[in-house]
Each structure stands twice: as C-alpha cells, then as structure tokens.
C-alpha cells in the first residue's frame, strides 16, 4: 500500500483542509489526555512550515447526535490545541454556512481556524455529498490525519476526499506503515497476542492474522470458549456457547496452516466477578467448578515469553485478563513489559490494550502504539478503512 502524503504535494500558498481526531477526554472543561492532539501536531506543523499556507482544521468531539450542543463545542479543545501548537487557533462560529465561509475566506497565511464539531450536523455521519462539498470548499487540498475515525465513511473523513486532491498526514502514514506489513509480509517469526473479552469481537482478527503469523496467543475472556472446545473444565468463566463451533473450526484451520496456538495453561481466578474478590491461583488448565478465570497465570506467561523471545514482528490486541481490577492485572502488565522488551517490531492496537500499556508505563518502549481502537481492529481484520481508501485514488 503506497499512500500519498503531505510530503508528496506542493502546499505552497495553499489553504489546507485537515481532518484530525481531537475527540479527547474532557473533565470540567479541561482536556485530561492530549495524546490525540499531540499526535496530529507533526502534520499540522509541517503544513504551517510550508510557505504561505493557512489551515482549516476539522474534527468531531463526543456524540452531539447531529445537533448543535454547546456541551460538545470544540472551544476547550481549541484552547489546548493552541497551547500545544504555540500559535493562535481561531474557533469557527459553526461548521457550515455563510459566517464560516467568511471566516475561512478571511484566513491569512500562517493562520489556523478550527471548525466547530462536525457532528453538530447529521449530514456528517450520513456522509452527505452536499455537506462534503461545502466542507471541501474551505480548502485547496484535503489532508486526512484522523486514524481514529478512518474506519468510518463520514463526510469529513471520506466524502470530502471526492471533491479535493487528498493526501495522508504523518499519523495515518505511520499507522499504515506499522499495520500493513503485518497482513502482507511481516518479518518472521510473527507472533500475535490476542486477548480481550469476546470471541465474537475478535474472531475476524484471529482469522486474518492466522494467514501471516507463526504463533497466536489467545488469552483474556475469550480463551475459555477455546479451552472448552478442547474439552477442559472452565468453571464459571466467560463462555460464548454460540461460538463453540467457530472456535473449533478456527483451531482446526490454524493446525492445518501450521500456526501454533497458545492458550492459557494456568489461571488466576475468583469466585465472584468483582474488584474485591479473593484471588485463587489455579495451577492447571482445568478450572474448578464455581471459579471464574480472571487472568492468566505464571506458566502461561512463561509460554508467551518464550514465543516472544525470537520474534521479529509482534502485534498485541486485547488484555490478558481483567486488568481494570488490580488483583487481576498482573498478566496484562507482564505482557506489556515483555512486548516492551522485545527486540522485534512491536505494535499494540485496541482501546483497552493501549490504555493498559499507558497505565503500566510501557508505551514509549513499544514501536507503535495505535491511536485508533476500532480502526486498528478493523485494519487487523483485513478490512479496507474508507478514510484511507479515499486517499488512494
């Protein structure tokens, strides 16, 4: 996959329309985590460094459900963006309409205008052509750097690309650079660690990765459905009975392809699913009646470590256990550390997995920590992301 980026086009003197993902967490009017703003800055700075450029920035924020709602205004986000960028950011009065047209037309070289929340209009998520065209009228060229929403075909992420020359920003370029080889030609051995809650939400990822990987670790809540298929006792652990056949045929296909599947061989359990539950270590694959598998045990972690030792490519999606509860976070923390210490190329994607590597402080030792939860999952499933596909024309 070769994407055109901001570096492949002449931006001099242009008004650039950029889509970013500034859907940041907010508390009492303050941005509590500015990772998403930070990750758009290299592209924003590059564009503003080109001679005579001005910038119109668009993003969604929260779910205002297609209506103008001051609670979802971009103003607090603009404030943080301005501080991080170190130059004035104007906030537009709206998303579309004559007033905004004038605000855009009045932009001088070097100036930045952040449009109001694109989701103030239902036309955004409906990918309405008229709305897309109006957004497109704000720029000479469109840059998409919103990886977090690239799996959605909305007006500001996809529609607008049909009306303007369209290129990727550095964030999308980086995400694609790390994810695409995993599905095409990964450096081998390639080990995938897939955890999380459900077989139903991860089976497509497993099937997609089984085409290129040498080994797959299956852990988290979904592992028990697989263990059940193998005839093991799983106590009161999470079971998706309607996915037993799917899990069974996945295991058969993996074996046919020569992909090693590593399932938990020991567990950290509890009798109740809650934070204060008494921790019970179970030193066998089988889980005694009445217990819930909440995390993987030390023998399982040793197996994962062994797989990771010589690996050249590693992808991790989905926590090993219920890491939100301190008593059951050890497996996820240990894997985060192992991945961080890997010499191969390491990629982590998925909302909760990324939260875990951040929480445990390993993010800066991992080659790529994806900024898109849903988008990274769909990428790993081998699906085309509309926001990226629209840049490939």
Residue 65 beta carbon to ligand ADP: minimum distance, rounded to whole angstroms: 24
Rank residues 165 and 374 by Cβ distance to ligand ADP and give the closer one: 374
For residues 247 and 69, give the distance between their C-alpha atoms in angstroms, rounded to a whole number.
45
The tokens of 3 are what? 């994407």
Interactions with ligand ADP, residue window 237-256 (CB under 6 A)? 238
Q: How many CA atoms lie within 13 A of 188 on its CB side?
A: 10
Residue 315 beta carbon to ligand ADP: minimum distance, rounded to whole angstroms: 12
Residue 294 beta carbon to ligand ADP: minimum distance, rounded to whole angstroms: 5
Helix, strand, coil percent values for the chain (each to nearest 5)? 40, 15, 40
Interactions with ligand ADP, residue window 256-315 (CB under 6 A)? 293-294
Rank residues 163 and 360 by Cβ distance to ligand ADP and give the closer one: 360
What does 186 interact with, of ligand ADP, Mg ion, none (CB < 5 to 8 A by kind)?
A: none
Q: Is 185 exposed, middle or buried (0-12, 13-18, 19+ CB in 10 A)?
A: exposed
For residues 132 and 308, give the distance between their C-alpha atoms in angstroms, rounded to a whole number.
46
The binder of ligand ADP chosen from 189, 297, 373, 386 (CB under 6 A)? 373
Rank residues 259 and 336 by Cβ distance to ligand ADP and give the closer one: 336
Residue 317 beta carbon to ligand ADP: minimum distance, rounded to whole angstroms: 5
Rank residues 321 and 386 by Cβ distance to ligand ADP and give the closer one: 321
Query: 139-157 b/e with 16+ CB inside 10 Å = b?
Result: bebbbbbbbbbbbbbbbbb
- Decide: is 288 part of the binding site for Mg ion (CB under 5 A): no
27 is catalytic: no
Site track for Mg ion across 321-360, x = CB under 5 A: ------------------------------xx--------
For residues 200 and 28, give the distance between their C-alpha atoms in angstroms, rounded to a whole number.
36
36 is catalytic: yes
Mode of pairing for the β-strands spanning 280-282 and 267-270: antiparallel
The DSSP line for 251-280 is HHHHHHHT-EEE--SSEEEESSSSTTPPPE
Residue 351 beta carbon to Mg ion: minimum distance, rounded to whole angstroms: 4
Site track for Mg ion across 211-230, x = CB under 5 A: --------------------
H or E stretch covering 250? helix 244-257
Stretch that binds ligand ADP, among 109-117, 318-326, 335-343, 385-393 (CB under 6 A): 318-326
The tokens of 144 are what? 């998409």
The DSSP line for 309-337 is HT-SEEEEES-SS-TTSGGG-HHHHHHHH
Stretch that binds ligand ADP, among 58-66, 158-166, 242-250, 350-358 (CB under 6 A): 350-358
Rank residues 26 and 239 by Cβ distance to ligand ADP and give the closer one: 239
220 is catalytic: no
297 is catalytic: no
For residues 316 and 145, give the distance between their C-alpha atoms in angstroms, rounded to a whole number.
23
The binder of ligand ADP chosen from 35, 73, 201, 358 (CB under 6 A)? 201
Choosing from 66, 374, 382, 389, the catalytic residue is 374
Write phi, then psi, for 172 (nearest 5 degrees): -60, -40
Going through the chain in order, the beta strands assigned E by DSSP cover: 15-19, 26-27, 30-31, 54-58, 89-91, 112-114, 141-144, 166-168, 190-194, 215-218, 260-262, 267-270, 280-282, 292-296, 313-317, 345-348, 368-369
- Decide: is 317 part of the binding site for ligand ADP (CB under 6 A): yes
Residue 376 beta carbon to Mg ion: minimum distance, rounded to whole angstroms: 11
- Decide: is 352 part of the binding site for ligand ADP (CB under 6 A): yes
- Decide: is 220 part of the binding site for ligand ADP (CB under 6 A): yes
Question: Contact positions toward ligand ADP, by CB under 6 A?
Answer: 196-197, 201, 220-221, 238, 293-294, 317-319, 321-322, 324, 350-353, 373, 377
Question: Contact positions toward Mg ion, by CB under 5 A?
Answer: 351-352
Tell me the catalytic residues: 36, 198, 351, 374
């Amino acid at each position: 996959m070769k994407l055109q980026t901001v570096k492949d086009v002449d931006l001099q003197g242009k008004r650039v329309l950029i889509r970013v993902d500034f859907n940041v967490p907010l508390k009492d009017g303050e941005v509590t985590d500015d990772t998403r703003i930070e990750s758009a800055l290299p592209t924003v700075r590059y564009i503003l460094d080109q001679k005579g450029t001005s910038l119109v920035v668009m993003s969604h924020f929260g779910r205002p459900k297609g209506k103008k709602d001051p609670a979802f205004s971009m103003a607090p986000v603009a404030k943080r963006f301005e501080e991080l960028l170190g130059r004035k950011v104007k906030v537009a009065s709206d998303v579309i309409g004559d007033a905004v047209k004038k605000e855009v037309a009045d932009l001088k070289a070097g100036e930045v205008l952040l449009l109001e929340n694109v989701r103030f209009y239902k036309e955004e998520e409906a990918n309405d052509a008229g709305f897309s065209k109006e957004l497109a009228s704000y720029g000479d060229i469109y840059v998409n750097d919103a990886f977090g929403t690239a799996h959605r075909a909305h007006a500001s992420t996809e529609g607008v690309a049909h009306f303007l020359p369209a290129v990727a920003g550095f964030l999308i370029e980086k995400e694609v650079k790390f994810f695409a080889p995993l599905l095409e030609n990964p450096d081998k051995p390639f080990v995938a660690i897939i955890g999380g809650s459900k077989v139903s939400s991860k089976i497509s990822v497993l099937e997609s990765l089984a085409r290129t990987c040498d080994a797959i670790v299956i852990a988290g809540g979904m592992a028990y459905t697989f263990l059940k298929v193998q005839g093991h006792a799983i106590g009161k652990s999470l079971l998706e009975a309607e996915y037993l056949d799917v899990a069974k045929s996945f295991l058969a296909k993996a074996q046919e392809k020569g992909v090693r599947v590593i399932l938990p061989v020991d567990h950290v359990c509890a009798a109740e699913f809650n934070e204060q539950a008494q921790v019970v270590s179970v030193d066998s694959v089988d889980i005694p009646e009445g217990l819930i598998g909440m995390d993987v045990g030390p023998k399982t972690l040793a197996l994962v470590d062994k797989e990771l030792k010589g690996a050249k490519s590693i992808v991790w999606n989905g926590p090993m256990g219920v890491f939100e509860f301190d008593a059951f976070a050890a497996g996820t923390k240990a894997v985060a550390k192992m991945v961080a210490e890997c010499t191969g190329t390491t990629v982590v994607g998925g909302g909760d997995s990324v939260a875990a590597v951040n929480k445990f402080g390993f993010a800066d030792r991992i080659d790529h920590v994806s900024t898109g939860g849903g988008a990274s999952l769909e990428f790993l499933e081998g699906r085309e992301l509309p926001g990226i596909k629209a840049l490939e024309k």
